[in-house]
Structure 1
Amino acid sequence: MKRIFLTCLLIITTIGFSFADTIAISHFVIKENPFAKDEIAIVAVDTAQNIQENVSGLFTFTINSFTEQLTFDKGTAFYRHKIEKSGFVYARHENDNGTHSMLYYVYRHDSKLSPVKISWILLISIPLGLVLIGYLFKRFIIIAIVIFCIFLYFNHSNGLSIPTFFQSVIDGLKGMFVG
């Protein structure tokens, strides 16, 4: 009876240790896809920007409001949609650790793509700076309004809508206080 009890206890203990940890993506970057023209790759990285090669499998991302199932292999997934012109790419991933999002401006030049990360601080500081300049210098209020309209037009024409703008700022604020 003791042998059966010890055997069962050993099996239960072994099963408890055999479950693998779930792999979560907490940080990621967007890079140019080196294997395809006009496409980007999403790379899972750690806080030191090193590729997490243990990330493999299917992960759900929302890219510019479209939900995509991306297959990661050794920390890299390829977004199989061609980027025809420069524009904003808002990538968002939700897992057990929370929601992680990044806003990039993908600049297209000479058939190459150069992703530039846009911080939520920059997004909010430009309109606030224009309001401050207009408030401090009453003569420049018309110039500040014109620059603000140009800022809104540039954002809208390159794919950054007002809800995405605010969602990026809110995610940045959440990341500052939570993460």
Structure 2
Amino acid sequence: MFLISICHLFTQMAWAQNANIADFDVKENLSQNGKLAIIAVDSLNKTNNGIQGSYKFNINGFQQDLQFNDGVAVTANPIESSTFVFFKHKSPHKDIGKLYFLRVTEKGITPYKISGMLLIILPLLILFIAYKFKRFLVTLAILAVAYLYLNYSKGLDVKQLIESTILGLKDLI
């Protein structure tokens, strides 16, 4: 009986590790300890409870092995202040990358997903408006100051912006 139980356990572990993460969502951990929960979801945006085991994620360029239990993994480090975070998971079928702005308040962490298309349309719209009002240099200076502020105090990086935009375009095509 013991041998059958062990064989069943190994079979179950091998099956769980073969499950692929098709998509994921980011939320605050239920214990509200400043950590994030990464939730594996299916095509209907429901939690995929079949995801078990360790999966590799790149979080702002740092590779981490996240331990999933019933489709949910908790990041190791707490978030202390508002910041931009780029999550990327490389599955055998496709790369999944999402850019979030994490707003930290006394009530907890609120993640806001930033669309790749927004990263293309918003700067183009700003440039169009600047061109129409003949104040391109002033607008460019304001954008540069805003970028420098977000880069140095909130962790926004040009590489993350470009990678998020490219992955957004791949999903569009």
Shorter-chain TM-score above 0.5: yes
| 1:51 and 1:75 in contact (8 A); partners too | yes
1:151 paired residue number: 146
Segment drifting more, 123-132 vs 70-79:
123-132
Cα distance 1:154–1:128, how it changes in 2: closer, same or farther (>3 A)?
A: farther
Alignment of 1:112-123 (within 5 A): 112-123=108-119
- Quote the residue 1:64 is aligned against: 60
Is the CA contact (8 Å cut-off) linking 1:38 and 1:82 kept in structure 2? yes
- Measure, in 2, the Cα distance between the counterparts of 1:49 and 1:151: 34
Structure 1 residue 23 corresponds to structure 2 residue 42: no
Amino acid at match of 2:24: F
Partners of 1:32 and 1:123 in 2: CA distance: 24
Task: Report if aligned partners of 2:32, 2:108 keep a CA contact under 8 Å in 1.
Answer: no
Q: Given that residues 117 and 169 in structure 2 are in contact (C-alpha distance below 8 angstroms), is that contact kept between their aligned partners in structure 1?
A: no
**CA RMSD after TM alignment:** 1.7
- Structure 1's 78 and 51: CA in aligned 2 closer, same or farther, altered over 3 A? same
Q: AA paired with 1:95?
A: S
Q: Secondary structure, in 3 states, of the residue corresponding to 1:85?
A: coil
2:23 and 2:96 in contact (8 A); partners too? yes
Report the CA distance between 1:129 and its aligned residue: 1.4
Displacement after TM superposition at 1:20 (Å): 4.4
1:137 corresponds in structure 2 to: 133
Choose which of 167, 170, 173 in structure 2 pairs with 1:174: 170
Q: Which runs of 5+ in 2 are unaligned?
A: 1-13
Identity of aligned residues (%): 31
- TM-score (ref. length: structure 1): 0.82
Decide whether the 8 Å contact of 1:32 with 1:39 is kept in 2.
Answer: yes
